[in-house]
Amino acid sequence: MTDRTVPREMLAVAAAAADSKGGEDLVALDVSGPLPLVDIFLVVTGRNERNVAAIADEIEDRLLEHGFKRLRREGRQESRWVLLDFGDLVVHVFHEEERMYYGLERLWKDCPVVPIDLPATSTAD
């Protein structure tokens, strides 16, 4: 049995980072059943290439700050679909059009959704 706390901690850090840069439609999928080397996919949408790059950079920076090692990064130059592989967590940051086209949620529809707890945004009094 593997320790599920580390991937969930990674997810919390990555989701907060994505949210802070305007990431939309965050979905986390538990892919540990069909993929023995990965626990969670986090799928995020950015509004345009610049937003996709900013989201991916922020996620990467925050995970590195928390001591997690990046194994691989792909797609940063085009910023239409950036993949960040942190081992237990793989983050897919999509441009809106690519997310609709590739439909990762449809491909992995049999995998359970992992709840994402985003930090509450403060409102001015």
Let me know if residue 71 belongs to a domain: yes
- Amino acid identity of residue 1, one-letter, is M
Radius of gyration of the chain (CA): 14
Let me know if residue 26 belongs to a domain: yes
Q: Look at residue 117 and tell me whether its pLDDT is greater than 50.
A: yes
Please count the helices (runs of H) and the strands (runs of E) in the chain.
4, 6
Here the CATH number for the domain that contains residue 28 is: 3.30.460.10
Let me know if residue 122 belongs to a domain: no
pLDDT at 4: 72
pLDDT at 121: 56
In this structure, the number of other CB atoms found within 10 A of the CB of residue 29 comes to 22
User: Quick one: DSSP state of residue 88?
Assistant: S
**What confidence tens digit (pLDDT) does each residue in 9-59 have?**
999 999 999 999 999 999 999 999 999 889 999 999 999 999 999 999 999
Let me know if residue 125 belongs to a domain: no
Let me know if residue 121 belongs to a domain: no
What is the number of structural domains in the chain? Answer: 1
- Amino acid identity of residue 34, one-letter, is P
pLDDT at 8: 94
**What confidence tens digit (pLDDT) does each residue in 62-113 have?**
999 999 999 999 999 999 999 999 999 999 999 999 999 999 999 999 999 9
The domain containing residue 77 runs over which residues?
Answer: 5-114
Let me know if residue 70 belongs to a domain: yes
Mean pLDDT over all residues of the chain?
A: 92
Let me know if residue 120 belongs to a domain: no
The band of 5, judged by pLDDT with boundaries at 50, 70 and 90, is confident
Q: Look at residue 3 and tell me whether its pLDDT is greater than 60.
A: yes
